[in-house]
Copies of this chain bind each other. A is one copy, B any other.
Amino acid sequence: MAKDTKPRRPRAETPKGFRDYFGAEVTERNRMLEKIAEVYRLHGFDALETSGVETVEALGKFLPDVDRPNAGVFAWQEEAVPGGGHGDWLALRYDLTAPLARVAAQYRNDLPSPYRRYAMGPVWRNEKPGPGRFRQFYQCDADTVGAASVAADAEIIAMLADALEAAGIARGDYLVRVNNRKVLNGVLEAMGVTDAHQAAAVLRTIDKFDKVGEAGVRELLTTGRTDASGAEIEGVGLQPAQADPVIAFLTSRGETNDETLSNLRIAVGASAMGAEGADELAQIAATLDAMGMGADRVVIDPSVVRGLGYYTGPVFEAELTFEILDDKGRKRQFGSVAGGGRYDDLVERFTGQKVPATGVSIGVDRLLAALREKGLAGADMAGPVVVTVMDRDRMADYQSMAAELRAAGIRAEVYLGNPKNFGNQLKYADKRGAPVAVIQGADEAARGVVQVKDLVLGAKIAAQASVEEWKAQPAQVEVPRGDLVRAVSEILSR
């Protein structure tokens, strides 16, 4: 059949797991990131933008003998080099830390040390897409490389609080909570846990503190526990007394940082590592104090456990404390929007040298969602004033009106579709979210006037009415042509 010989048209589809961002979605995110970047620059951090593509070797996720490296990243092999050797494997970056490690090693003789840098941009993950989970998304990181002092951690913690406020989160609506992996290590020493597997099991148990509470943690650390569904969960097998330091650690938060620190020093007992961790937290608290960071913004809180397994020293997390309604209509705190901590193996795999580093990552989509939740994003992203076209031969006049409006800083455009059907122009203005329409037919032009229509008031009726009905709306005023900008400004300021 003739039908079969016709080549199939290509599908116009976003690839699976990717999405497109339109208008305010783009500008709101960019504005938020730029406000954060300003805070980072003010703190002496420099921008770094690496390309989206790295060698798989530099990313370091894969064994060199894997045939097709694809676990978690998008990767491909370069063409073979003429005259020998196969091409490099390249991949899209999966985060902003791996490229920082590469840069810190590659330019180690040229970069200032310590090197403070921020980076904002897309990263890619070759994962099964799910609802709200995309294979390209934004990250926003700031790190200090080469500073062993916890003053660097304190600085980043304070900077995070400033960044959240710059983005629009009010003081009182967020809290940065600080903990330290070294204190936990001290607790493990005080417990007499030296086996790495057992330590890991304790960490996993601590992670469940929020869910199962003190009694549950005690059960999990010792003989095990029966959960709500009746399932038996095996215990770590410690003696009941061994659980005491962990409980002391998790519940050590006092009314003040000083009180918390006293409790922590008790929890770590005689452990030197634990004392070092508590000293570091004390130093961080003192530095934050000197920087004017009150307890309404940052607190020492040993119940922060996220990231304790990954980081090697101070760990911190920023939570938004206001309530939202979840999917089921129940109130809950908005929760975590940023986190970070100290890690010391950033460039070691490249250079063999341990370089201390500490950093923070803000969850871009989470924070943006929070700003939207609070009505703080996109207030100024209204659609443009639409100058309608009543008379096709007078396009130059209409363009001149739009140009005048723009010269006054008002977003404006001329309708550029087929002007025949005036209803289409109004539907268009509606689709654009236009706050105002400007109309000038032949009779208005002859009388030297224009019609200025408030669409926020009249939108719904307008989409169905005829030109005549539409003109009769009370939200519409006729003004001298020379008063166009003034009349539009007036409506916009309503």
Contacts and interface: CB of A to CB of B under 8 A. Distances in A.
Is the contact region of chain A dominated by helix, strand, or loop, or is it mixed? mixed
A375 interface: no
A391 interface: no
Interface size class of A (residues with CB under 8 A): 35 or more
A290 interface: yes
Contact of A149 (B50, B103, B395): B395
Interface in A1-18: 9-16, 18
Interface string A332-366: 00000000000000010111100000000000000
Contact of A152 (B42, B55, B79, B416): B416
Contacts of A409: 42
Given A10-B350, A20-B51, A52-B52, A70 B74 contact: no
Interface stretch (A245-253, A399-407, A481-489): A399-407
A289 B396 contact: yes
A47 B381 CA distance: 11
A34 interface: yes
A258 interface: no
A171 B50 CA distance: 34
A422 interface: no
Given A105-B12, A351-B9, A48 B74 contact: no
Interface stretch (A22-30, A266-274, A295-303, A458-466): A22-30
A57 interface: yes
B20 A47 contact: no
A432 interface: yes
A283 B146 CA distance: 62
A309 interface: no
Nearest to A44: B413
A238 interface: no
Contacts of A292: 400, 403, 407
A15 B106 contact: no
A147 B417 contact: yes
A136 B151 CA distance: 37
Interface of A: 9-16, 18-27, 30, 34, 37, 41-44, 46-55, 57-58, 60, 70, 74-76, 79, 88, 90, 92, 101-103, 105-107, 112-114, 116, 122, 124, 135-136, 144, 146-149, 151-152, 154-155, 158, 283, 286-287, 289-292, 347, 349-352, 383-384, 386, 395-397, 399-400, 402-403, 406-407, 409-414, 416-418, 428, 431-432
In the complex, the 8 A-B pairs of residues with the closest C-beta atoms, listed nearest first: A44-B413, A12-B105, A290-B396, A26-B47, A147-B416, A44-B384, A76-B76, A290-B400
